[in-house]
Structure 1
Amino acid sequence: MKATNTVGASDGLPARHIAGFLDRLRTARYSEVTLCKKRRVLSAFSRWMKSRNVALGNLDESATALFMERLTDAPADRVRFELAVLRLFLAYLRGEAIVRLPTVSDQSAIAHIYGRYLDYLRQDRGLAKNSVLVYGPFIRDFLNSQDAGDGSILPNAFDAVTIRNHLLAHSKGRSGEYTRLMAVALRSFCHFLFLRGDTPRDLYELVPTVRKWRQSTVPTFLTPEQADALIASADRSTPCGRRDYAILLLLARLGLRAGEIVALELGDIHWRSAELVIHGKGQMVEHVPLPSEVGEAIAMYLRDDRCASASRRVFLRMWAPRVGLAGPAAIGHIVRQAFARAGFRPACRGAAHLFRHGLATTMIRHGASIVEIAEVLRHRSQDSTAIYAKVAFEDLRGVARSWPTVGGAI
């Protein structure tokens, strides 16, 4: 984007585009106070465009970045707010075909290959959104380290030695799990490069692996009493509490993953057959029974609290915009709030997953087989379920050998 327009003088932002944008936000239930603040930002941006002779057709991220430079000494909250307004407005203009979408030729080589890699993860590998969010930053950091200074990639970037040196340099002072995930992401990226034809051979096997012993620990879980206490902590006299109550029941009674709850849509609830359609990991689509307790909680939330929304997601944000929850982290936040209300302190990260571990643990202690637990948890491999055998402590005592007594050891 160029800051000046040689065709003619810029008139800034037409008032009809600002009004249309604010009307769109109004339907998403933004408050009038918030809309006034956004209008002030866009009015200032319009004046800036006119002073810099920036035409509407040339609007892109570089223009907004130049506009934001005036806030060098401004409070961080103001910077974040104005940047969010401009990003949302630019997305609106592109969605309405008022401003063209950036083409491949507009992107740097690094941005282009990074976008292609994310598409590969989503479309070819079928990875869940959360997995893409794990892999992506590692590869973005690697590509940025190979920037020639003009957005192009250094000649030896896709070389086994370069990739290995990057892994070793960026693993210093990091945890074993962080290093392991970085190695996994780099190995995945090497395979992507080979499939794209960027490397003559697959460098996948040349990236060092980080050893992680499978099933070396006993899974942390919630007891049935703890799960019930967390569910009971939800304040069902409020709309937010009724929403959270339904979410906690889905976690505890069905063992759903956080991402599966976020992705649940209105059409996925089959009321007559009492089933839920779950969009799981690896683009798997499965049907699970809908217990009456869970169904009643969801029905109450939908009837009394969800309100009208263009979104088809079952669970929406409580504040504008009234759209689906942002991601699995939103479910984790709801669970952590329940822990705080119940006076519990989770012993590990991923608090939402403790319900899933708790369901499996309760099942195995009541005599369920590994095959049955794998079916309920929808594991594609029983190896993922085998770790729960460790929590059947009474059964393990029956097969454990006696500890040698004094004089009994050789």
Structure 2
Amino acid sequence: MPNWNTYIKEYQNYLRLERGLSANTIENYSFDIEKLVHFLSQNNIDVSPVAISDEQVQQFIYTISTQVNARSQSRIISGLKSFFNYLIFEDYRKDTPLELIEVPKTGRKLPDTLSVEEIDLLIEAIDLSTPEGERNRAMLETLYSCGLRVSELVTLKISDLFFDEGFIKITGKGNKQRFVPIGNSTQKFILIYKEAIRSHLNIQKGHEDTLFLNRRGKQLTRAMVFTIIKDLAVKIGLKKTISPHTFRHSFATHLLENGADLRSIQLMLGHESITTTEIYMHLDRKFLADVMETFHPRAK
């Protein structure tokens, strides 16, 4: 394809260096553009990103809409918008070929939440007779009681544990650091794992400070944590679609249901904007109505 790669490379550098986005996010953005490039080459449309027209992009969006759901479609459109806005920003183009393209309405799909009982059942299903069992219990307790992202869990360092003060230090998106409170029982599970299991591992160079290790003494992958959780769900016959993120989501929802304020939850989750945190409210109107009734002078 005529010099798409050059523009995509420059765009990736811009996302990394100027917007400070993670490799993961950049990969997702690039994936959307590659879908468009693939479509053009399949249809023998020989055009550069600077010259591509509204009609050609519309044709692509129309084709995609027959293959993916509204949610994925809207993600692809927003990925492309970002790319063409970058081209305008760099003076490669005067306008965006997505000007008239509507993003499909996708009522925000909220992840499944687990009840406290379901979380207990999942953790009770862990086989503690194996060394991995002790590790998995400590990991799931940490995910749920601290509301971590899975990437934050697998990169958690021993030097980030401040148990005397009752906090752990988390390095979140964009290398932003935050301190999250950690309860005594979760501290206890981490210490059991650290002293009884981790101390016997042959730890690989570069992983000496990583808290949760696989049996080869290296940092766990996110996929591994995903698999551990999926397997436990199957074991207890749980019919919900769950992932490590479900624990983070449940952490926020349970705090909110028990009366925590949104701003505190935002700080603990490490959300840049309170709007992101509001999604965690499950937009539960009943909860809001209760708040109004309890706290507003005119509601009495």
TM-score, normalised via structure 1 length? 0.60
Identical counterparts, % of pairs:
25
* 1:169 maps to which of 42, 46, 63: 63
Indicate the larger mover: 153-162 or 276-285. Answer: 153-162
- The one-letter amino acid paired with 2:93 is T
Checking the alignment, whether the CA contact within 8 Å between 2:11 and 2:86 is kept in structure 1 is: yes
What is the Cα deviation at residue 177 of structure 1? 0.8
- Distance of 1:382 and 1:166 partners within structure 2: 35
2:185 corresponds to 1:293 = yes
2:9 maps to what in 1? 115
- Distance of 1:111 and 1:358 partners within structure 2: 41
* 2:169 maps to which of 247, 262, 277: 277
- The one-letter amino acid paired with 1:230 is L
- Distance of 1:373 and 1:183 partners within structure 2: 31
What is the Cα deviation at residue 256 of structure 1? 0.9
* 1:256 maps to which of 148, 169, 190: 148
2:87 corresponds to 1:193 = yes
1:326 maps to what in 2? 221
- Distance of 2:95 and 2:118 partners within structure 1: 52
- Distance of 2:67 and 2:35 partners within structure 1: 17
- The one-letter amino acid paired with 1:125 is R
What is the Cα deviation at residue 289 of structure 1? 2.2
1:19 maps to what in 2? none
Where 2:178 maps in the other structure, the secondary structure is strand
Checking the alignment, whether the CA contact within 8 Å between 2:143 and 2:248 is kept in structure 1 is: yes
2:28 corresponds to 1:134 = yes
How has the CA–CA distance of structure 1 residues 223 and 132 changed in structure 2, closer, same or farther, with 3 Å as cutoff? same
- Distance of 1:368 and 1:156 partners within structure 2: 50
Please say which structure displays the higher CA radius of gyration: 1
- Distance of 2:50 and 2:244 partners within structure 1: 43
Q: 1:51-90, aligned counterparts within 5 Å? A: none
Question: Would you say how many aligned residue pairs link Structure 1 and Structure 2?
Answer: 284
For residues 165-191 of structure 1, the C-alpha deviation after alignment (integer angstroms, 9 at most, x for no partner) is 222222213211111111111111112
What is the Cα deviation at residue 398 of structure 1? 8.7
How has the CA–CA distance of structure 1 residues 122 and 169 changed in structure 2, closer, same or farther, with 3 Å as cutoff? same
- Distance of 1:136 and 1:263 partners within structure 2: 25
How has the CA–CA distance of structure 1 residues 123 and 236 changed in structure 2, closer, same or farther, with 3 Å as cutoff? farther
Checking the alignment, whether the CA contact within 8 Å between 2:32 and 2:79 is kept in structure 1 is: yes
2:275 corresponds to 1:383 = yes
* 1:343 maps to which of 233, 237, 257: 237
2:138 corresponds to 1:246 = yes
Higher-RCO chain (CA-CA 8 Å, sequence separation at least 6): 2
- Distance of 2:141 and 2:17 partners within structure 1: 32
- Distance of 2:168 and 2:99 partners within structure 1: 41
Where 2:112 maps in the other structure, the secondary structure is coil
How has the CA–CA distance of structure 1 residues 379 and 176 changed in structure 2, closer, same or farther, with 3 Å as cutoff? same
- Distance of 2:229 and 2:256 partners within structure 1: 24
Where 1:120 maps in the other structure, the secondary structure is helix
2:298 maps to what in 1? none
What is the Cα deviation at residue 251 of structure 1? 1.4
What is the Cα deviation at residue 205 of structure 1? 4.1
- Distance of 1:369 and 1:120 partners within structure 2: 37
2:207 corresponds to 1:315 = no
- Distance of 1:311 and 1:206 partners within structure 2: 51
- Distance of 1:289 and 1:205 partners within structure 2: 46
TM-score, normalised via structure 2 length? 0.79
Checking the alignment, whether the CA contact within 8 Å between 2:50 and 2:93 is kept in structure 1 is: no
How has the CA–CA distance of structure 1 residues 362 and 179 changed in structure 2, closer, same or farther, with 3 Å as cutoff? same
Where 2:16 maps in the other structure, the secondary structure is helix
Gaps of 5+ in 2: 294-300
